[in-house]
Structure 1
């Protein structure tokens, strides 16, 4: 075979190759056409589809339209009105800018383009098939704006068409594409029809209540009932939107929407920052839900990274990561027991919202300050080193403490203990069930973290030092991480090749088993590896330490002790979940209890 020479590909073949990157399925067509409509300034967009978009996709808008003389040019590769120079590319303000979408779509489908340019008296139409245009523009009847029809997708590329799924599956992807656009622009009216039936018609939502209604319509009412509104900024960066409560996490990462300057992205830096913010409150294998909008100077973001523009590159990636992590961490930390998920802090700071897993929303309550009388001496049994733990002044125990303002506190007051595991409390909404070990574990964990960050971890010398025999591998890790142990309040020393002694432990843990505690901490460090940051390693160890220091199940508590635990929960960050992400309390409203007993029927 003679050697082949380099040659320029025919235009139609080049467009079909580009379509392989830009047009994956009907949903890709809808995404590109919707973005073009938004870039054209459309305020009303209608989407029609048949057979999941395989047979037909029609997008109609009321934007600026396309001039008659530009209609043929719009189907040529790299022809665009959105950028004209390198400086424009470095600060892209539009969703599209490459000029590849229309020619790529037209090369693999039968298409028609009808448009009436703003200020013109007449509309014009062109049509074609497989990238070939059937003559020039023809007069047509059409209001201001543009309508693009795409029929029989991949009719001329059978191999691509065979990769399409059933009409139902393709429709699910198409609906998701419309949903993403609808969530990005609350100010635009968007409607979707499939097989001639209206799926939804979303009116413009300029204010927050309207936006919440749109989000509920697209993501479900349960999302809004279990989400916290956030809005905070630092310098040129601003983050707003909704984050799901930890108890509303899902088994898949299928309800995560993140927009950068109005463009939806799936960025590793963003995902990592969000995961880090949730790391203390999510159960293993669960994924947080969120709908977030990041506003940042356009010149600080490079969107020309991926053919589908789903990935971006930040000029100051570390700054963006820290901004997201700290802001979301603070927002989750400010979540308070008993406050409705709809409640939010002012725009200047992250919000407060309901903690724990609730089965039904109820009227919000303002969190009350910790009642001094609830911090009784009896509770020091749960905190052996209570004198070293910041808390309110002990007072005479009361079975039914009185709130300072005459109202019940968010988690109410204890009425009983069930099998030494759960605390039953009564609040204004109904019945509260508390897992006392999980709740106390979070309290101890947060106090240990605060002590470590403040550099004043209080240690307690053991009356009799405890000898621990480790394996050679465990002994090596104990030697490597001995500075970390010292920082956390432990005093350990090596007696032999594999023999160690524990002389001091954190004061909060003086009743824990030092030998088992040391082994568990070493096991945590061995699974994490040296690549993890010191802070992450310390937090993981503290989580294990807190589990050992928390009150155990089947321990009988007095009513004053139970009330003190409830008050501590109300004053502790992230108290809705234990260190492993499990819920610490559940609310049963009076309405739910009435339904259980068929009351009111």
Structure 2
């Protein structure tokens, strides 16, 4: 077959295969065009999941009548004019492929009017064949109608799913848009019935927008993130580790306002949660990454789902460290009485006396007196956490918490109470019951002590650094040529991780030393995994993860066991340690270590006040 020029209609239909995957793709492209035109209200009308009809109305700037035919031509756009513009794209759309691609596989009409025009103008396209521009009444803005999607490409249409499924994809994309553009009002109807409305004029960090998009439970468990460094800013919300998902359905990432998927950032988030997430669960987050547009290439995917960072290693490290440090501050009791969207505050240990140090768990523990009053418990810690009744009666100075310990609360008597309150009893040899300022705290003592021991072990090993254990007999490790190249280029990084390794050949390495703590494991497999991480993400946390897994096991075996009887001072000592320990809200396996029951909720159990 001779070489020949493809007809324009076929070219557009081929492009539609990349740009228009399903009705949700059409909605995405058209709504993004509306936002680029300055719209503050967008109406989305759908029929049969968008297959029969997609109508997008906006109140944006509109299109001049003479430009309507150009708008449905390939690579015609008002958003870039030079290579410099392409390298610093700030708009959602810019490729000039969406409208001609959509028009080539549907019955398409475009109506628009600018503010200074007496009437609107309309253009119709059927199966890629462009009609004439005609006058049409229309308010300021633009309306695009897409009917009978893929009517002329039956092979594509048969791959569409059920109406409910296609509608679900549209609603999910609009939810993601509503999170990043709370200033825009979105009205959605399906089959003639209003289905959802997102109000405009809201702040990016408004609690109302978070609730109506991701849900009340996420909002109640959200931790606010806002950190800037090296010309980067990461802000938004991450859900507390105790709030996790079976799937990645609540993971929203935006780069300069564009919703994207990125393996490197997703890996950084996963690594940040690795130490606090229950096995097999997924973290939930809404994160906005902002950087200079010249440092990110958005022109790597026809549908603009992916980007390429020019400093991918820096981005990965920035995201990981920001979230890792934020999660480290999730100490038990820290935020149970604070608003869900309050900014996270670093929490430091309150100065402790000998009485508040961790007890010697090896000695016999007498059964605590279950009738012991909280006042008596408080008396033993008067110098640490609030006054005794005698101090209040005598008018003595009342202890106030350090500025580094902002989570102390005031009970009904006016006394300051630590975040996890004062222990009153041990339940079934497993749980500690504590009276907090505004209710009851229940602590899983084994899970809590396990985390405390684990964090102490990590701190000790971090202080020493990763020691290398030389091998008596160096080992030859077979790798791919690409892995050998990485090992040679990253020899200094490997040394920091405890590996003494050099290149032995095109596809082989000579391993002379391994991380001492992990010397009994499969160090060759670990080395290969580290090389894979360095190649794909620019850094590796494999050694740290393997080390942490070993330390976690050690901490678990060393933690206080169920049915070990604790005295009330020992229980209080454990509570104070929890308040001062990083990540103490979860055990080493991601399970919660404590629960809070507000007094109002307990009152409802017994119908008090009704």
TM-score by length of 1: 0.80
- 1:298-355 CA-to-partner distances (Å, cap 9, x unmatched) read 0000111112111111111111111111111111112243314635666xxxx249xx
Does structure 2 conserve the Cα–Cα contact (< 8 Å) formed by 1:228 and 1:342? no
Cα offset for 1:208?
Answer: 5.5
Distance 2:165 2:243 in 1: 26
Root-mean-square deviation (Å):
2.8
Select 2:255's aligned residue among 253, 256, 260. Answer: 260
In structure 2, do the counterparts of structure 1 residues 521 and 204 end up closer, same or farther at CA, with 3 Å as the change threshold? farther
Select 2:103's aligned residue among 93, 101, 106. Answer: 106
In structure 2, do the counterparts of structure 1 residues 436 and 125 end up closer, same or farther at CA, with 3 Å as the change threshold? same
Cα offset for 1:540?
Answer: 2.2
Alignment of 1:189 with 2:169, yes or no, is: no
Distance 2:597 2:342 in 1: 25
Secondary structure at 2:294 match in 1: helix
Distance 1:589 1:555 in 2: 28
The more displaced of 536-545 and 176-185 is: 536-545
**Corresponding residue of 2:554:** 545
Distance 1:236 1:456 in 2: 29
Matches within 5 A, 1:386-405: 401-402=381-382, 403=385, 404-405=399-400
**Corresponding residue of 2:598:** 589
Matches within 5 A, 1:86-125: 86-125=83-122
Cα offset for 1:207?
Answer: 3.1
- 1:341-376 CA-to-partner distances (Å, cap 9, x unmatched) read 635666xxxx249xxxxxxxxxxxxx7963635844
Does structure 2 conserve the Cα–Cα contact (< 8 Å) formed by 1:368 and 1:410? no
In structure 2, do the counterparts of structure 1 residues 375 and 321 end up closer, same or farther at CA, with 3 Å as the change threshold? farther
**Corresponding residue of 2:152:** 156
Matches within 5 A, 1:63-462: 63-133=60-130, 135-207=131-203, 211-338=206-333, 339-340=335-336, 342=339, 351-352=344-345, 370=350, 372-373=352-353, 375-376=355-356, 379-382=358-361, 401-402=381-382, 403=385, 404-405=399-400, 406-455=415-464
Distance 2:267 2:354 in 1: 40
Matches within 5 A, 1:517-556: 522=520, 531-532=529-530, 533-556=542-565
Distance 1:527 1:598 in 2: 60
Cα offset for 1:294?
Answer: 0.6
Secondary structure at 2:101 match in 1: helix
Secondary structure at 1:125 match in 2: strand
Does structure 2 conserve the Cα–Cα contact (< 8 Å) formed by 1:68 and 1:124? yes
In structure 2, do the counterparts of structure 1 residues 528 and 419 end up closer, same or farther at CA, with 3 Å as the change threshold? farther
For structure 2, the 5+ residue unaligned runs are 364-375, 386-398, 401-414, 467-493, 499-516, 531-541
Distance 2:455 2:29 in 1: 47
Cα offset for 1:200?
Answer: 2.8
- 1:113-141 CA-to-partner distances (Å, cap 9, x unmatched) read 000134323210111211112x3111111
Distance 2:15 2:79 in 1: 19
Does structure 1 conserve the Cα–Cα contact (< 8 Å) formed by 2:221 and 2:340? no
In structure 2, do the counterparts of structure 1 residues 592 and 218 end up closer, same or farther at CA, with 3 Å as the change threshold? same
Cα offset for 1:155?
Answer: 1.1
Secondary structure at 1:248 match in 2: coil
Distance 1:374 1:167 in 2: 67
Does structure 1 conserve the Cα–Cα contact (< 8 Å) formed by 2:332 and 2:594? no
Secondary structure at 1:381 match in 2: coil
**Corresponding residue of 1:54:** 51
**Corresponding residue of 2:20:** 23
Distance 1:43 1:216 in 2: 21
Secondary structure at 1:562 match in 2: helix
TM-score by length of 2: 0.79
Distance 1:530 1:581 in 2: 27
Cα offset for 1:96?
Answer: 1.1
Distance 1:420 1:578 in 2: 18
Cα offset for 1:169?
Answer: 1.2
For structure 1, the 5+ residue unaligned runs are 354-366, 385-395, 458-483, 489-517
Cα offset for 1:178?
Answer: 1.2
Cα offset for 1:41?
Answer: 1.3
Does structure 2 conserve the Cα–Cα contact (< 8 Å) formed by 1:525 and 1:541? no
Cα offset for 1:161?
Answer: 1.4
In structure 2, do the counterparts of structure 1 residues 374 and 560 end up closer, same or farther at CA, with 3 Å as the change threshold? farther
Alignment of 1:579 with 2:579, yes or no, is: no
The number of equivalent residue pairs is 511
Distance 2:118 2:228 in 1: 46
Does structure 1 conserve the Cα–Cα contact (< 8 Å) formed by 2:180 and 2:204? no
